[in-house]
Amino acid sequence: MKIAYLGPKGSFSHHVVQTAFPKEELQAFANITDVIKAYEQGLVDYSVVPVENSIEGSVRESLDYLFHQARIQAVAEIVQPIHQQLMVVPGHSKIEKIFSHPQALAQGKRFIDAHYPDAKIEVTASTAYAARFISEHPDQPYVAIAPRSSAEEYGLELIAEDIQEMEANFTRFWVLGAEIPKIPLNSQAEKMSLALTLPDNLPGALYKALSTFAWRGIDLTKIESRPLKTALGEYFFIIDIDYSDKELVHFARQELEAIGIQHKILGTYPIFTITDIEKESQ
Amino acid sequence: MKIAYLGPKGSFSHHVVQTAFPKEELQAFANITDVIKAYEQGLVDYSVVPVENSIEGSVRESLDYLFHQARIQAVAEIVQPIHQQLMVVPGHSKIEKIFSHPQALAQGKRFIDAHYPDAKIEVTASTAYAARFISEHPDQPYVAIAPRSSAEEYGLELIAEDIQEMEANFTRFWVLGAEIPKIPLNSQAEKMSLALTLPDNLPGALYKALSTFAWRGIDLTKIESRPLKTALGEYFFIIDIDYSDKELVHFARQELEAIGIQHKILGTYPIFTITDIEKESQ
């Protein structure tokens, strides 16, 4: 089987697919849209993309493409804890410039200010790019903030571990494909994600849409509005609902249709969580 | 009076403050947090920040800072139509590299593919930076996608106008301060923006929160969830409501309190719209 993910090697996405699909052929793509298109074009069996981070919020490129253009659905969710490491080319001790993604830099700001107040900061497109970049410039006084898997991929040495400020930092990844894959991780309750497009009168329609779930006691674990890209104030809504009672959800969806609220299923998926034990053992 | 805005000169933010505060002293800051802090530190009388674009969605840096840290409120909203122009150092005709912000590049992609399929693309932090950068490298075969005001600011020449694909592209800006400023634009109905933090049980609480507005017939023009930055699945909600019946809103807010839903007022503001007439006449 072939699995598409957001590269380069050593990224959090790479760690997720390595953990979920340890024996399959993994193919890196340069951006999220290309990862999804790889499945649509029949190049891979599954595409894995990040959809939400607990600090940054939704990954707009993933959700917008899935809503507006894709016919593919999520068949599994993988939750990855985010830990950031400070790494150098082995043996380096001179540190003048720190490379990383803006979010990792923000998360490590307190550590950097305390230990490297004079270092220059350079922004990169991803943490894994930062790690690869410093490995390609071994003669420079460079350091990267990146995941542990980046250090392994590019032969770098950790000089400080878990430098992120907030402990509760997780990213949700969706496995997009035709059927639930076999994933060697523990799974929890199933969820369903829907995108609702409401008819003209927004406030009443959203209220009615939520009513169809609320009075049946179906838990919502997320609601998020995204612009429809037509005018200010026109949105679609992404909701995540508990899918443990499939019959109740079935009737709620029928009621949505009956009152004129369109919805698209973005996915129906069990949730797998990567624990720190997997992290340590990789 | 002094007004803080997101620089550099020639940005959409700059055009907004020039139009709304034509006779005041304008001060550019390098990022949104610094713009807001300028007011908090007493350096300026008003701070102007972008809060939402009709295509990209909310400006997370603005809303998160206003919710989590700021005590400042929005006292006016300015809606700016977004038009992108292709510009060069006057007299240039050789075009090998196109500089702009990712959103402007995405919006101009169809035009670029049709007219400059071989040009290299370089991403910049903002459209105005792209314009300033090419003006600083007059000997290079560079072109920038940026607003009209950038061309004026940096002495550049437009070689193609309004190259964005979508016509309905607007950005909302908030004027943060102590009282409603005098703005030489037409104003429409007043709105109020609230940030709601819901008690433990999310689905029921959100439904009840929306009920307090729905049954009173108070229009919601936006609802958006943002992560609380604690764990996946914990959110606060930003809602924009029609503030034309102040008494009804007053009672709705009292009811929110009574059922245990905390809210923070992000702003109460009349809405001013910059039309294309202002754009042409600047």
CB contact under 8 A, B229 and A172: no
Give the Cα separation of B211 and B73 in Å (integer).
Answer: 25
Do A249 and A146 reside in the same domain of the chain?
A: no
- Residue B47 lies in domain: 2-81+169-181+272-281
Residues of B in contact with A205 (CB under 8 A): none
H or E stretch covering B265? strand B262-273
How many A×B Cβ pairs under 8 Å? 100
Do B105 and B123 reside in the same domain of the chain?
A: yes
CB contact under 8 A, B210 and A210: yes
Do A90 and A147 reside in the same domain of the chain?
A: yes
CATH of the domain at A231: 3.30.70.260
Sign of the CA dihedral A246, A250, A253, A255? negative
How far away is chain B from the Cα of A126, in angstroms, using its nearest Cα? 14
Residue with tokens 């253009």: A69
For residue A16, which of A42, A38, A43, A49 has the smallest C-alpha distance? Answer: A49
pLDDT confidence band for B73 (50 / 70 / 90): very high
- pLDDT tens-digit series, residues B2-25: 999 998 899 999 999 999 999 999
Q: Which of A79, A210, A237 sits opposite B207 (nearest CB)?
A: A210
Query: Nearest 5°: phi and psi at B109?
Result: -60, -45
Q: How many domains does chain A have?
A: 3
Quickly count: other Cβ atoms within 10 Å of residue A28's Cβ.
18
- A126-165 b/e with 16+ CB inside 10 Å = b? bbbbbbbbbbeeeeebbbbbbbbbbbbbbebeebbeebbe
CB contact under 8 A, A207 and B218: no
| Secondary structure class of A106 (helix, strand, coil) | helix
Interface test with B, best of A229, A237, A244 (most B CBs within 10 A): A229
pLDDT confidence band for B279 (50 / 70 / 90): very low
Do B103 and B60 reside in the same domain of the chain?
A: no
Do B65 and B176 reside in the same domain of the chain?
A: yes
CATH of the domain at B173: 3.40.190.10
- pLDDT tens-digit series, residues A183-211: 999 898 899 999 999 876 555 788 889 88
- The ipTM (two decimal places) reads 0.71
Residues of A in contact with B233 (CB under 8 A): 221-222
Do A260 and A236 reside in the same domain of the chain?
A: yes
Do B218 and B237 reside in the same domain of the chain?
A: yes
DSSP, res A33: H
Strand partners, B196: B237, B263
Sign of the CA dihedral B137, B142, B147, B151? positive
Residue type, A36: I
Residues of B in contact with A238 (CB under 8 A): none
| Secondary structure class of A247 (helix, strand, coil) | helix
How far away is chain A from the Cα of B262, in angstroms, using its nearest Cα? 18
Structural domain contains residue A183 = no
Do B207 and B240 reside in the same domain of the chain?
A: yes
Residue with tokens 């940096």: B154
Query: Which pLDDT belongs to residue B37?
Result: 93
Do B96 and B209 reside in the same domain of the chain?
A: no
Question: To 10 degrees, what angle do helices A202-214 and B202-214 make?
Answer: 140
Please confirm whether the linkage preceding B90 is cis (ω < 30° from 0): no
Written as tens digits, the pLDDT of chain A (282 aa) is: 999 999 889 999 999 999 999 999 999 998 888 999 999 999 999 999 999 988 778 888 899 899 988 889 999 999 999 999 999 999 888 899 999 987 788 788 889 989 999 999 888 878 999 999 999 999 999 999 999 999 999 999 999 999 987 767 889 999 999 999 999 998 988 999 999 998 765 557 888 898 899 889 898 888 888 888 777 667 888 999 999 999 999 999 999 999 889 999 999 999 999 986 444 433
Kindly state the average pLDDT of the residues B252-264: 93
Do B73 and B203 reside in the same domain of the chain?
A: no
Do A173 and A76 reside in the same domain of the chain?
A: yes
Question: CA end-to-end span of chain A, whole Å?
Answer: 21
Residue B256 CB partners (closer than 8 Å, separation 6+): B196, B209, B212, B263
Residues of B in contact with A202 (CB under 8 A): 219-221
Structural domain contains residue A32 = yes
Residue B231 CB partners (closer than 8 Å, separation 6+): A54, A168, A170
Structural domain contains residue A214 = yes
Q: Which of B60, B213, B229 sits opposite A166 (nearest CB)?
A: B229
Do A12 and A24 reside in the same domain of the chain?
A: yes
Give the Cα separation of A128 and A144 in Å (integer).
Answer: 9
Report the chain B residue with the minimal C-alpha distance to residue A61. B56
Report the chain A residue with the minimal C-alpha distance to residue B51. A232
Q: Which of B203, B210, B226 sits opposite A207 (nearest CB)?
A: B210
| Assigned token pair, B247 | 């008494």
